[in-house]
């Protein structure tokens, strides 16, 4: 066999081998968990195929976040706390439910994280807080920052709750609604919802060395309670211009007053307490010096000393008028963990489960669907085989055709394994659709080549093949056009169906169907005729 | 042995009007059904819980179908047994999945799966599905016009694709199939499938040498095989997946079967008569 002439067949073989490697190879699939919300990381079973929730079992909760956001505002850093206080008072909600986000995509924003905020009252409240309330854009939902924060908090809670492999992500629908999607394998919905609802008690505790008769002892005092932290605004973990990661915090006026009073009383603002070595918790937890601990359910998750500049502000009373400070960390990871911990008590806002979707599937049902779907696909393929054989009665035409159709599905499976696509039922439907369109196209090729009488030369063959390809190409483009709305609109499960169909059509047109043409030529033409 | 021979109809015996009359009558009837349905229910097809909101719960129990119906204290739409197992799929318009799950648990049933969707989420999906079908149809039409660049052959393809979608929609009402994500996927796929055989027919008649009827028969041989193959695949898929109680697949399969059967009629009667008119009278004039 001349390899150069049959390069299409060679290409098909290469692709089949690559698929085999992707499906069964030791390298396994890349960690899909990083970029796909519905896969469960490591593959199980004999192949590298990953299964989505419908075939693996577990829970998915998809719900919007409660809140109303005013965008296109212009806010000064120092105004934050007064805005929260004023808007909160005016709308009759706690200041902890009002959040000010600076430098968001759409200018500065104020969001109110409760239900049923009237647009009119919100505008009035903003105006009262010294902002241009009339010019603001008011929309339902929360800011991207709050969504991100929610995702991080839920992720932390699920991992802490021992539900391994859970994934949380945000999803934007084509109509512009934003949802949080929580996928947890092997857990039922009630478990997941309970876990998310659970609150951890977070507080900030100051520890100071006190000289006693028998040496130094430490005295601990809570300076910010769980309640006060919930009312304050915990910002997003970020990095400043110098590359220093931190979490910004803005307290309410009341909390700020108590906090600064306590710190002054405890001697935290003295020169002894504010030096760079004032908190030595990391080096010697037994003898930490002056430290501020962040604790979750009594466990210390973060420790730091007081910055001299902040100590000065607290002493001078300036802190009370602008009660914002930052907690510095050594890495952005630590900053993110700290941010989640500071908020471990509550999600920034409520997950409106009643406005979303809930899916739970026992693992056994998922397993059953797996082999049933496989069986359905096989039977469909057999039905196709039956009609093809009845039509051609020539195994030389029919067998390669069926093999090619099977190869198409095999390549698709390899593709799915390679990119770590989590298979769901809709994908199986996509595979079956691909068999359907695939065989259609192969029939067109076979008929075009065989039906017009003897094939005298390789050139005649080429010309007929090209004619067949015009129809196939047009049909392929139509299918892709018909499927692309589904691929882009997030109609839940159907997105996967559309993507599989489109990829399948592309694999078919570019790889398998041309190869089938070459196979037919080899079967139909003698050695001399091919030249 | 069964022979699979594509029949060669004697098209000469029928006028274009006669040929087109049948598919057009069926299309008109389908539109009538859809219009009547809209008048009676407010929507052309009854949307399923994926579009209206609701809950589908699958339970395992030794109880009988009617016992299941009686033992659950929420408004039940349907209880459907799953072949070869002791499980039932119960659907309801209620959306509080927690309350439904606990009702099923307290009745002593094992919950195999729960799927619930809020009404607002469903309405969103409904809008998206409509947009999706609309965009797909317009995109397909533009492509067809770009490919053939002549009005009559192009409109023939678009008209039969339209009819291929409308007839299954009407049949869904007749057979009591609700619009689900599966059936929406099928309607979109129909656009692709239906155009396949139409393009094939147009291409053979407009671009090949040989007489009109010769070209037609060649296109039919391939096209009918294609469609019949797909119909057989989808029929078994429908039977198998509904026996197994697999979601999504049965709806997809049955709507495709409807559409593909309609496509046989539309391609070889409607599209063909328009093409014949175009070839013998339209061009000549």
Cβ contact, residue pair A475, B234, below 8 Å: no
User: What is the count of structural domains for chain B?
Assistant: 2
Q: Beta strand pairing status for A357-361 and B110-117?
A: antiparallel
CATH classification at residue B252: 1.20.1640.10
Of the listed ranges A161-170, B200-209, B253-262, the least confidently predicted one is A161-170
Cα dihedral B245, B248, B251, B254, rounded to 10, equals: -80
Residue-wise pLDDT for A14-59, tens only, equals 999 999 999 988 754 444 443 343 444 444 567 888 888 888 888 9
Supply the pLDDT for residue B198: 92
Measured in degrees and rounded to the nearest 5, phi and psi for residue B122 equal: -65, -40
What is the average per-residue pLDDT within B168-184? 92
What is the average per-residue pLDDT within B233-251? 88
> What pTM value is reported for the model?
0.78
Confidence of residue B9 (pLDDT cuts 50, 70, 90): confident
- Do B135 and A498 touch, CB atoms closer than 8 A? no
The overall average pLDDT reported for chain A is 82
Residues B136 and B83 in one domain: no
Chain A nearest-CA distance from B80, in A, is 16
- Do A521 and A447 touch, CB atoms closer than 8 A? no
pLDDT cut 90: percent of chain A above it: 8
Nearest CB to B113: which of A173, A360, A498? A360
Residue in chain B lying closest to A425 (CA): B248
Closest listed residue to residue A347, CA positions, set A78, A95, A146: A146
Domain A67-140 CATH (choose: 1.10.357, 1.25.40, 3.30.870, 3.30.70) = 3.30.70
Residue in chain A lying closest to B120 (CA): A355
What is the average per-residue pLDDT within A386-390? 88
Cβ contact, residue pair A175, B252, below 8 Å: no
Please write down the HEC assignment for all residues of B99-125: HHHHHHHHCCCEEEEEEEECHHHHHHH
Instruction: Name every chain A residue with its beta carbon within 8 A of the beta carbon of B59.
Output: none
Chain A contact present for B199, CB below 8 A: yes
Residue B37 included in any domain: yes
Residue B4 included in any domain: no
Q: What whole-number distance in Å separates Cα of residue A118 and Cα of residue A65?
A: 17
Cβ contact, residue pair B131, A174, below 8 Å: yes
Nearest CB to B203: which of A62, A425, A470? A470
Chain A nearest-CA distance from B208, in A, is 10
Residue-wise pLDDT for B97-138, tens only, equals 888 888 888 888 888 899 888 888 888 788 888 888 899 999
ipTM of the assembly? 0.86
Closest listed residue to residue B200, CA positions, set B264, B278, B284: B264
Structure tokens that stand for A82 in this block: 């007064």
What is the average per-residue pLDDT within A85-95? 84
Residue B42 included in any domain: yes
Q: What whole-number distance in Å separates Cα of residue A89 and Cα of residue A473?
A: 64
pLDDT score of B156 more than 70 = yes
**Residue entry with tokens 């709050």:** A146
Which residues on adjacent β-strands are paired with residue A220?
A207
Residues B27 and B98 in one domain: no
Closest listed residue to residue A455, CA positions, set A391, A520, A407: A520
Residue B1 included in any domain: no
Among B70, B85, B117, residue at a domain's last position? B117
Confidence of residue B144 (pLDDT cuts 50, 70, 90): very high
CA A327, chain centre distance (Å): 27
Nearest CB to A359: which of B115, B132, B192? B115
pLDDT cut 70: percent of chain A above it: 90
What is the average per-residue pLDDT within B39-66? 89
Chain B nearest-CA distance from A72, in A, is 27
The kind and range of the H/E element at B156 are helix B151-174
Residues B40 and B97 in one domain: no
Supply the pLDDT for residue A344: 62
Instruction: Name every chain A residue with its beta carbon within 8 A of the beta carbon of B113.
Output: 359-362, 365
The kind and range of the H/E element at A96 are none
Residue-wise pLDDT for A471-517, tens only, equals 899 989 999 998 888 888 766 677 888 888 999 999 999 999 989 98
Chain B from 87 to 126: CB within 8 A of any A CB = 95-98, 101, 111-118, 120-121, 124-125
What is the average per-residue pLDDT within A429-457? 80
Alpha helices, DSSP H only, in A25-140? 53-56, 80-91, 119-128
Residues B41 and B69 in one domain: no
Residues B79 and B205 in one domain: no
Instruction: Name every chain A residue with its beta carbon within 8 A of the beta carbon of B221.
Output: 447, 451
pLDDT score of A81 more than 80 = no
Supply the pLDDT for residue A29: 44
Residues B30 and B110 in one domain: no
Confidence of residue B173 (pLDDT cuts 50, 70, 90): very high
- Do A40 and A56 touch, CB atoms closer than 8 A? yes
* C-alpha dist (Å) from residue A24 to A19, A28, A245, B68, B222: 8, 7, 42, 44, 37
- Do B271 and B194 touch, CB atoms closer than 8 A? no
Q: Beta strand pairing status for A107-112 and A68-73?
A: antiparallel
Residue-wise pLDDT for A240-264, tens only, equals 888 888 888 888 888 888 888 888 8
Q: What whole-number distance in Å separates Cα of residue B87 and Cα of residue A236?
A: 48
Measured in degrees and rounded to the nearest 5, phi and psi for residue A249 equal: -135, 135
Residues B127 and B25 in one domain: yes
Residues B127 and B180 in one domain: yes
Residue in chain A lying closest to B53 (CA): A357
Nearest CB to B226: which of A369, A386, A443? A443
End-to-end CA distance of chain B: 49
Q: What is the DSSP letter of B182?
A: H
Residues B101 and B216 in one domain: no
Residues B90 and B139 in one domain: no
CATH classification at residue B91: 3.30.70
Supply the pLDDT for residue B223: 92
Supply the pLDDT for residue A38: 41
Around A17, how many Cα atoms within 13 Å sit in the side-chain half-sphere?
6
pLDDT cut 70: percent of chain B above it: 98
Q: What whole-number distance in Å separates Cα of residue A233 and Cα of residue A80?
A: 9
To test the contact with chain B by mutation, choose from A482, A492, A494, A508 the residue with the greatest count of B C-beta atoms within 10 A, namely: A482
Of residues B259 and A392, more confidently modeled: B259
* C-alpha dist (Å) from residue A456 to A2, A250, B215, B228: 19, 84, 21, 31
pLDDT score of A272 more than 80 = no
Residue B111 included in any domain: yes
Cβ-based neighbours of B18, under 8 Å, separated by 6 or more: none
Chain B nearest-CA distance from A368, in A, is 9
How open is the CA angle B118-B123-B128, to the nearest 5 degrees?
125
* C-alpha dist (Å) from residue A162 to A52, A155, A186, A346, A361: 20, 11, 11, 18, 19
Residue in chain B lying closest to A176 (CA): B124
Nearest CB to A471: which of B144, B200, B225? B200
Domain A202-343 CATH (choose: 1.25.40, 3.30.1360, 3.20.20, 3.30.420) = 3.30.1360
Buried b (16+ CB within 10 A) or exposed e, A8-45: bbebbeebbeebeebbebeeebeebbeebbbbbbebee
Nearest CB to A357: which of B118, B131, B196? B118
Residues B68 and B147 in one domain: no
What is the average per-residue pLDDT within A177-197? 83
Which residues on adjacent β-strands are paired with residue A170?
A180
Cβ contact, residue pair B185, A379, below 8 Å: no
pLDDT score of B285 more than 80 = no
Cβ atoms within 10 A of the Cβ of A307, count? Answer: 16
Chain B from 25 to 84: CB within 8 A of any A CB = 50, 58
Residues B107 and B231 in one domain: no
The overall average pLDDT reported for chain B is 88
User: Most confidently modeled of A178-192, A345-359, A402-416?
Assistant: A402-416
- Do A399 and B146 touch, CB atoms closer than 8 A? no
User: Most confidently modeled of A114-128, A205-219, A384-398, B25-39?
Assistant: B25-39
For residue B35, give its domain range.
11-47+121-282
To test the contact with chain B by mutation, choose from A372, A380, A381, A508 the residue with the greatest count of B C-beta atoms within 10 A, namely: A380
Report whether CATH 1.20.1640.10 matches the domain A6-56+362-529. yes
Of residues A296 and A493, more confidently modeled: A296
- Do A522 and A400 touch, CB atoms closer than 8 A? no
- Sorted by where each begins, the domain ranges of chain A are 6-56+362-529, 67-140, 202-343
Residue B138 included in any domain: yes
Instruction: Name every chain A residue with its beta carbon within 8 A of the beta carbon of B234.
Output: 380, 436
């Amino acid at each position: 066999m001349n390899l150069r002439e049959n390069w299409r067949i060679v290409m098909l073989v290469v692709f089949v081998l690559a698929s085999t490697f992707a499906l069964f190879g030791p390298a396994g699939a890349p960690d899909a968990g990083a970029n796909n919300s519905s896969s469960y990381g490591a593959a199980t079973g004999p192949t590298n195929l990953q299964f989505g929730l419908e075939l693996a079992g577990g829970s998915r909760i998809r719900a919007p976040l409660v809140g109303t956001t005013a965008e296109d505002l212009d806010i000064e850093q120092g105004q934050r706390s007064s805005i929260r206080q004023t808007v909160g008072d005016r709308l009759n909600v706690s200041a902890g439910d009002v959040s000010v986000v600076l430098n968001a995509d759409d200018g500065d924003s104020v969001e109110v994280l409760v239900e049923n905020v009237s647009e009119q009252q919100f505008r009035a409240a903003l105006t009262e807080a010294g902002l241009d309330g009339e010019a603001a854009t008011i929309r339902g939902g929360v800011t991207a920052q709050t969504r991100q924060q929610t995702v991080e908090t839920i992720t932390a809670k699920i991992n802490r709750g021992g539900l391994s492999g859970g994934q949380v992500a945000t999803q934007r629908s084509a109509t512009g609604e934003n949802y949080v999607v929580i996928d947890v394998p092997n857990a039922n919905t009630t478990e997941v919802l309970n876990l998310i609802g659970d609150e951890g008690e977070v507080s900030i505790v100051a520890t100071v060395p006190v000289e006693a008769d028998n040496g130094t002892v430490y005295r601990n005092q809570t300076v910010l309670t769980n309640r006060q932290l919930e009312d304050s605004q915990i910002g997003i973990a970020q990095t400043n211009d110098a590359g220093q990661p931190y979490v910004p915090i803005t307290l309410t006026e009341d909390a700020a007053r108590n906090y600064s009073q306590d710190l002054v009383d405890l001697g935290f603002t003295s020169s002894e307490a504010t030096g760079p070595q004032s908190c030595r918790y990391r080096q010697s937890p037994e003898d930490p010096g002056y430290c501020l601990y962040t604790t979750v359910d009594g466990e210390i998750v973060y420790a730091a000393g007081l910055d001299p500049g902040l100590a000065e502000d607290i002493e001078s009373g300036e802190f009370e008028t602008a009660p914002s400070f930052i907690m510095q960390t050594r890495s952005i990871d630590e900053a993110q963990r700290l941010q989640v911990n500071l908020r471990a008590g509550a999600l920034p806002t409520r997950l409106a489960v009643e406005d979303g979707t809930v899916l739970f599937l026992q693992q056994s049902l998922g397993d059953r669907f797996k082999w049933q779907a496989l069986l359905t696909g096989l039977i469909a393929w057999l039905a196709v085989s039956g009609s093809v054989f009845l039509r051609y009665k020539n195994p030389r035409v029919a067998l390669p055709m069926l093999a090619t159709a099977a190869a198409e599905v095999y390549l698709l499976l390899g593709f799915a394994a390679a990119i770590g696509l989590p298979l769901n039922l809709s994908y199986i439907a996509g595979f079956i659709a691909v068999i359907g369109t695939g065989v259609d196209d192969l029939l067109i090729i076979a008929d075009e080549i065989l039906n017009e009488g003897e094939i005298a030369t390789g050139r005649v063959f080429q010309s007929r093949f090209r004619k067949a390809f015009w129809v196939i190409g047009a049909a392929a483009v139509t299918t892709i056009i018909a499927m692309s709305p589904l691929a882009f609109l997030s109609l839940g499960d159907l997105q996967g169906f559309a993507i599989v169909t489109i990829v399948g059509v592309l694999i078919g047109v570019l790889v398998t169907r041309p190869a089938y043409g070459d196979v037919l030529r080899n079967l139909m033409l003698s050695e001399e005729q091919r030249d | 042995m069964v022979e699979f021979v594509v029949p060669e109809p004697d098209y000469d015996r029928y006028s274009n009007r006669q040929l087109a009359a049948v598919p057009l009558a069926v299309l008109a009837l389908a539109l009538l059904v859809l219009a009547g349905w809209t008048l009676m229910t407010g929507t052309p097809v009854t949307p399923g819980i994926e579009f209206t909101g609701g809950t589908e719960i699958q339970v395992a129990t030794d109880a009988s179908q009617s016992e299941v119906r009686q033992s659950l204290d929420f408004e039940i739409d349907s209880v459907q047994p799953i072949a070869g197992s002791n499980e039932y799929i119960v659907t309801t318009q209620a959306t509080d999945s927690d309350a439904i799950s606990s009702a099923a648990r307290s009745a002593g049933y094992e919950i195999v799966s729960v799927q619930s969707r809020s009404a607002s989420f469903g309405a969103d999906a409904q809008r998206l599905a409509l947009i999706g079908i609309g965009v797909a149809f317009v995109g397909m039409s533009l492509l067809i016009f770009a490919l053939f660049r002549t009005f009559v052959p192009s409109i023939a393809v678009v008209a039969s694709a339209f009819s291929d979608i409308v007839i299954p929609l009407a049949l869904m009402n007749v057979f009591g199939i609700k619009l689900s994500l599966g059936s929406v996927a099928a309607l979109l796929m129909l656009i692709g499938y239906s155009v396949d055989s139409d393009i094939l027919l147009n291409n053979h008649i407009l671009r090949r040498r040989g007489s009109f009827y010769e070209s037609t028969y060649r296109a039919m041989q391939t096209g009918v095989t294609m469609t019949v193959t797909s119909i057989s695949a989808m029929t078994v898929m429908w039977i198998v997946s509904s026996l197994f109680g697999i979601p999504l697949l049965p709806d997809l399969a049955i709507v495709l079967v409807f559409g593909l059967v309609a496509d046989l009629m539309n391609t070889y009667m409607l599209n063909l008569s328009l093409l014949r008119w175009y070839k013998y009278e339209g061009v000549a004039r």
